[in-house]
Amino acid sequence: METQNTMSHQPRDTPSARQPMPQTDPEFAKDVKEGLTADEKYLPSKYLYNKKGDQIFQQIMAMEEYYPTRCEYEIFDHNKAEMLSRFQGSSQRFDLIEFGAGDGMKTKVLLKHFWEEKANFSYIPIDISANIVNHLTDDLAQNMPGLEVEGICDDYFRAFQHLNEEEIHSHTRKVVLFLGANIGNFTQEQSIAFLKKTASYLNPSDRLLIGFDLKKEPQRILDAYFDKHDITKSFKINLLDRINDELGGNFDTDSFDYFPYYDPMQGTVKSHLVSRKEQDVYIAAIDTTVHFEAWEAIYMEKSQKYSIKDIEEMAEESGFQVMHNFFDSKHLFTDSLWTLR
C-alpha cells in the first residue's frame, strides 16, 4: 500500500520575507497558538480531520494492522437485527444520531439493514468536517433512496440542542452512536465530562452505543499506530501541512518524525511529532514564532484501551448503566449499549 505524498512539503519563506496572511478559522488559530506556546507543546487532535486528513484516515482504516475498523464492522454485521430490536424498543420510531460520523462505512451496515426492514427512523450524522457530511449524505441519497437523512456540520452538543428544540425530534427516542473508539482520544476526566453532558440531552428511553477498544496484546496495539507504510505518520504530519496552508506557517515537515508508544499498565497509546533539529517556525495568522529544541515533541493524540470493568465504571460514573456489550469474534473490541441510570 502506498502512502500519500505528505512528507515532501517544502518550507515556506522565512519570517523576514513574510507572505500575506491567508483567511483563517479564528478557533483553529487560537487553538494552535495555545498549543504550540505551551510549556509542553500539543495540537488538538480534532484538527487532524480536513479533506486530506479524511482521505489519509480512510487508508489507515484499510490497513492490515488497524484492527478496530474490521472488528466494529464485524460487530455490526453479526448483530444488526438485534441492534434494530434494541434501538426500536416499544417506541418504534427513533432518531439515529451519530457523533463524528466520518464516511459512515461501518454505520452503513446498520443503515442498509434498517432501510431494508423499513424501520421507522431518521439518520442524523454530525461531524465537524463539511466535506465528510456532504459526501456521506450524497452517497446515502444515491444508494438508499427514501432513507431519511439530515446531515449536520456542527459541534456535537450545539447540534443536539437544536434537535431537542425541533418538534419533529423533541419527542422521538434518540439512539446516539459514538463509534470507532473515539472516546479513547479523551482523558479520563474529559471522557466523564463528555458522557455526563451527553446524558444531560437524553431522556430515560434514549440509548447510547459507544465503541471501546479493549486491552490486548501490547504489540498488536502498537502495530496499529505505527504501521510500516508510514500512513499514520502522514496523517499526523498533515496537521503541520494544514497549519502551513491555512495559517501561513512555514513548518519544514521533513524535519519532524512520528513517535507513538503504548503503556500497558495504563492502557494508553500516546503519539507525538518530534523535531529532528533545533528550529524556528513562524505562523503568520497568529504572528508568532515557535522555537523547537532538537528532539522536542508535540503531543498529538492519545488512544485509551479499556477492560470491561473500566467500561462499567465509566458508565456508572457518568450517569449510565450498561445494557449489553456486543463483541467481535476475537473480543478485541466492543460496542457497548447504555441507558440512563
| Whether the predicted pLDDT of 17 surpasses 60 | no
Encode pLDDT of 267-280 as tens digits.
Answer: 999 999 999 999 99
- 132 and 246 together in one domain: no
Residues 302, 321: Cα–Cα separation, whole Å: 25
Residues 138, 144: Cα–Cα separation, whole Å: 10
Tell me the average pLDDT across 211-235: 95
- Residue 12: the pLDDT is 35
Q: Which residues contact 110 (CB under 8 A, 6 or more apart)?
A: 76, 80, 83, 84, 96
Residues 72, 98: Cα–Cα separation, whole Å: 15
Encode pLDDT of 273-319 as tens digits.
Answer: 999 999 999 999 999 999 999 999 999 999 999 999 999 999 999 99
Tell me the average pLDDT across 27-47: 96
Encode pLDDT of 150-203 as tens digits.
Answer: 999 988 999 988 888 887 788 899 999 999 999 999 999 999 999 999 999 999
Residue 62 lies in a domain: no
- 86 and 106 together in one domain: yes
> Looking at per-residue confidence, does 67 or 25 come out higher?
67
- 207 and 323 together in one domain: yes
Residues 236, 256: Cα–Cα separation, whole Å: 10
- Residue 307: the pLDDT is 97
- 208 and 74 together in one domain: yes
Which is nearest to 201 in space by CA: 319, 84, 324?
319
- 103 and 173 together in one domain: yes
Total of domains in the chain:
2
Residue 265 lies in a domain: yes
Q: Which residues contact 143 (CB under 8 A, 6 or more apart)?
A: none
**Could you tell me the three cell numbers for 256?**
519532524
121: left (phi over 0), alpha (psi -120 to 50) or beta: beta
- 96 and 161 together in one domain: yes
- 272 and 258 together in one domain: yes
Encode pLDDT of 61-98 as tens digits.
Answer: 999 999 999 999 999 999 999 999 999 987 789 999 99
- 202 and 333 together in one domain: yes
What is the band of 25 on the pLDDT scale with cuts at 50, 70, 90?
A: confident
| Whether the predicted pLDDT of 30 surpasses 80 | yes
Residues 28, 126: Cα–Cα separation, whole Å: 19
Residues 122, 166: Cα–Cα separation, whole Å: 14
- 112 and 180 together in one domain: yes
- 251 and 122 together in one domain: no
Task: Estimate the share of the chain in helix, then strand, then coil, as percent rounded to the nearest 5.
Answer: 45, 25, 30
What is the CATH number for 205? 3.40.50.150
Q: With beta carbons less than 8 A apart as the criterion, state whether 73 and 109 touch.
A: yes
- Residue 50: the pLDDT is 87
- 132 and 256 together in one domain: no
Residue 86 lies in a domain: yes
**Domain of 174, in residue numbers:** 67-215+306-340
- Residue 102: the pLDDT is 80
Tell me the average pLDDT across 8-14: 35
- Residue 23: the pLDDT is 64
